[in-house]
Amino acid sequence: RPNQLDFWSVVHILNIKNLRRPTSLRRHRKNNAQPPPPVLPKAPAQTRLYIRLSGPYYGPPPVRLLHRHRSLWLRPPKDPKGFRRFVDDAIERSGELVAYISGMPSSAEIIRAMDEISNTVCSVIDSAELCRQTHPDREFVEEAIKASIRVNEYLHYLNTNHTLYNAVIKAEQEGNLLTDEAHRVAHYLRLDFERSGIHLSAEKVDRVNRLSIEISQLCRQFNQNIVNDPGTVDIFPASLIPRNLHHLLKPIYRSTSVVSKDSWRPGDTTNEKGFVRKMAYIKGNSVPHANLGVLDQLVASRHELAQIMGYRSYAEFTVKPNMASSPEVVMSFLLEMSKMVKPSADERKCDQQYGDLEPWDEAYYTAMMKYSAYDLDSSVVASYFPLPQCIKGLKVLVESLFGATFHSIPLAPGESWHPDVLKMSLHHPEEGDLGYLYLDLYSRKGKYPGCAHFAIKGGRMVSETEYQLPVVALVCNFSASHNSSTARLNHWELETLFHEFGHALHSLLSRTDYQHFSGTRVALDLAEAPSNLFEYYSWDYRVLKTFAKHYSTESMQGARKMFAATELQRQIFYAVIDQTFFGEQPTPPTSSIVADLKRQYTSWKHVDGTHWEARFNHLLNYGAGYYSYLYANVLPQQIWQKLCQEDPLSLTTGTALRTKFLQHGGAKEPSHLLSGLVGVGS
């Protein structure tokens, strides 16, 4: 995610158009299974339901499904079956709301009740997903999977419910909604129903539902295969491996590593160590082999789904609602950037002084050259960034920008899923609590292998005086050093932490009336803008000096730019792979596509027998959307230059970021957000 190149030379091809982001009930198309749709619970005869709305009081409040800010699944480990009750309650409550909507109340009540259905169902799915990815107790994980399957089955029923669809059309067409956000919710709810195939024949709707279930099962299997078969490197003697690379003897979750200067010396590059690098590279990029078949099936199923829905490809189906608007715009953007960076990437590879390098040598010699040029020892760099100090830095950043503070708060009995989990509240002196953040930052067996932000609950207005606070979890996989219980981060890990924290703040600072647009529920190619912006903070010396003592960014900035073209080329390659897989004419096997495109879009050759795409889980929930990492980099660059660069820690800067951008979530058109933040025409 390099930011130093001139992205503005290709901005003219972006062709930014109005947001068409469907972020409704159907956003949870994952984690489904084959059972038939459940029967909708019916309200008792002659029973009138009342909904608490933001606005006039419409009668006695109903019994609410969620009473606390923490998710219902966070119960003592003795009760994993609590998920079943959670699902039962959610389906029962949603059924009552469907029955209420069928009576065609006012437009405002229809939209509010629809949003509560979404909130109810998503609370189950989001909590179950976090549990599935992080909980060490297998019984909890299994119950979370079952809960997710049941609720997603119910979602398929809701998304093809003509009563709800007709009610939403009524609300949109009557024009009696009181706010722009309510109008926007109604509009996108209608589009979401239509993107779920509600306008199709019964036969096609049935096929769409079956394909959605199949796709969700494939995505779940893909992730499970990564956990079950992470790959191992069995090398003896261990002395052949530098001490700081001994973790390669354990299951490999990433193909990158922190390399100390002891392993950078040209004199130490023996054939044996080259052999170790080769084995680690090939093994790390060859498992799980079972995912090749899963990926081919996923591509075929998504392609069929898109064609039934009337699109030429799954890429068109995915991109059309976003700012980019079409796969042609995306590919034009990627091709232009590829042409821009290829000469520099080729020159940097050919300029290396160590002969004809193989792909498994890239990380090793890149680190060596950075150390040689900038005297940069990443083991020393890591000593500047112990994880507790990094968390302190995030707290300082939030207090400086937004005048809010993170406070550690005790976890209730059974609320935590692991002893490493921490909980914090985000508190503003005038506004009170803004939201809650769980931190689960250390690696462990069976845990989600990367870093991610999980939105457990979105913010929304419950009444004129009550706001449902957002709840999020920041999950990472940092490893404690061999002589300490504390993780020490290299700078890439620090940048990743800041990136995910940007997502978390987007959720926590959101103040939308409807959870439908809360936080990161925005256009896919806008969602990465806040996270990419916060990466800039991880490089700014004025920020780093608040928590990383004796740290200088001069050498790191130089090293960052040294191979920027190569890294950008890699990201372009990933995005092209994604667009090609889900393009108009996907041609499995996908492994042959990868080999051809790597030769075309990178300066490194493909290694026969490797298939890194079997671990590339961005293809699941970012299918045809990986380009957004690059696309969304343009906006943060301009925000930083116009708003943050002069004084990145000022309250004025933070107030502008919050009030003109972050708090609106997806409730405003991106063009309005951009013009309000960085000026008309930007």
Query: Directed axis angle between helix 491-508 and helix 387-402, to 10°?
Result: 40
Of 278, 275, 267, which Cα lies nearest the Cα of 240? Answer: 275
Q: Which of 212, 243, 276 is the last residue of a domain?
A: 212
The pLDDT of residue 609 is 87
Task: Read off the CATH number of the domain in which 48 is found.
Answer: 1.20.1050.40
**CB of 141 closer than 8 Å to CB of 19:** no
d(CA 448, CA 223): 9
Specify whether 151 is located in the same domain as 194. Answer: yes
**CB of 438 closer than 8 Å to CB of 476:** no
Q: What angle do CA 177, 180, 181 make, to 5 degrees?
A: 95
Q: Does residue 14 fall inside a structural domain?
A: no
Number of Cβ within a 10 Å radius of residue 368: 22
The whole domain housing 436 covers: 385-549+633-678
Q: Does residue 556 fall inside a structural domain?
A: no
Respond yes or no: is residue 500 known to be catalytic: yes
The pLDDT of residue 380 is 62
Q: Does residue 367 fall inside a structural domain?
A: yes
Q: Which of 212, 240, 261 is the last residue of a domain?
A: 212
Q: Which two tokens stand for residue 128?
A: 């179950």
**CB of 30 closer than 8 Å to CB of 301:** no
Q: How many angstroms separate the first and last alpha carbons of the chain?
A: 22
SS (H, E, C) 354-399: CCCCCHHHHHHHHHHHHHHHHCCCHHHHHHCCEHHHHHHHHHHHHH
**CB of 280 closer than 8 Å to CB of 246:** no
Specify whether 345 is located in the same domain as 482. Answer: no
Q: How many domains does the chain have?
A: 3
Specify whether 585 is located in the same domain as 544. Answer: no
Specify whether 69 is located in the same domain as 146. Answer: yes
d(CA 217, CA 195): 20
On whether the pTM is more than 0.75, the answer is yes
Q: Which of 212, 242, 277 is the last residue of a domain?
A: 212
Q: Does residue 530 fall inside a structural domain?
A: yes
The pLDDT of residue 278 is 84
Of 35, 77, 11, 154, which Cα lies nearest the Cα of 416? Answer: 77
Q: Does residue 362 fall inside a structural domain?
A: yes
| Phi, psi angles (nearest 5°) of residue 560 | -60, -40
Dmax (CA) of the chain: 86
The pLDDT of residue 304 is 96
Residues 6+ apart with CB under 8 A from 380: none
The pLDDT of residue 375 is 57
CA 237 to chain CA centroid, nearest Å: 40
Specify whether 456 is located in the same domain as 569. Answer: no
Specify whether 466 is located in the same domain as 499. Answer: yes
Per-residue CA distances from 1 to 13, 472, 534, 642 (Å): 20, 24, 12, 20
Specify whether 85 is located in the same domain as 133. Answer: yes
The pLDDT of residue 254 is 40
Q: Which two tokens stand for residue 253?
A: 């979750």
d(CA 520, CA 527): 6
d(CA 405, CA 476): 22
- For residue 167, the surrounding DSSP H or E stretch is helix 162-174
d(CA 347, CA 230): 35
The pLDDT of residue 548 is 85
**SS3 (DSSP) at 422:** strand
| Phi, psi angles (nearest 5°) of residue 654 | -65, -40
DSSP structure string for 621-671 = HTTTTTTHHHHTTHHHHHHIIIIISS-TT-HHHHHHHHHHTGGGTTSS-HH
Q: Which two tokens stand for residue 663?
A: 């708090």
Q: Does residue 218 fall inside a structural domain?
A: no
Q: Tokens 């769980």 appear where?
A: 438
Contacts 24+ apart (CB under 8 A), 365-372: 366/563, 366/566, 367/259, 367/264, 368/264, 368/265, 368/266, 369/562, 370/559, 370/562, 370/563, 371/261, 371/264, 372/264
The pLDDT of residue 292 is 93
The pLDDT of residue 229 is 81
Of 112, 134, 122, which Cα lies nearest the Cα of 55? Answer: 112
138 class by beta-carbon count within 10 Å (0-12 exposed, 13-18 middle, 19+ buried): exposed
The pLDDT of residue 7 is 33
Specify whether 235 is located in the same domain as 276. Answer: yes
Which parts of the chain have pLDDT scores under 50?
Answer: 1-78, 248-272
**CB of 671 closer than 8 Å to CB of 679:** no
d(CA 362, CA 612): 15
d(CA 326, CA 315): 8
Active-site residue, selected from the candidate residues 129, 181, 316, 500: 500
Specify whether 127 is located in the same domain as 179. Answer: yes
DSSP structure string for 172-211 = HHH---SSHHHHHHHHHHHHHHHHTTTTS-HHHHHHHHHH
Sign, CA dihedral 670-675-677-679, equals: positive
Task: Read off the CATH number of the domain in which 672 is found.
Answer: 1.10.1370.40
d(CA 303, CA 519): 30
Task: Read off the CATH number of the domain in which 295 is found.
Answer: 1.10.1370.10
Specify whether 545 is located in the same domain as 397. Answer: yes
Q: Does residue 175 fall inside a structural domain?
A: yes
Specify whether 621 is located in the same domain as 643. Answer: no
Specify whether 523 is located in the same domain as 596. Answer: no
The pLDDT of residue 449 is 80
Sign, CA dihedral 232-237-240-245, equals: positive
Q: Tokens 């990136």 appear where?
A: 499
- pLDDT tens track for 643-679: 999 999 999 999 999 999 999 999 999 888 888 898 7
d(CA 572, CA 630): 8
- For residue 455, the surrounding DSSP H or E stretch is strand 452-457
Q: Tell me whether strands 471-478 and 422-428 are parallel, antiparallel or unpaired.
A: unpaired
Q: Does residue 16 fall inside a structural domain?
A: no
The pLDDT of residue 516 is 96
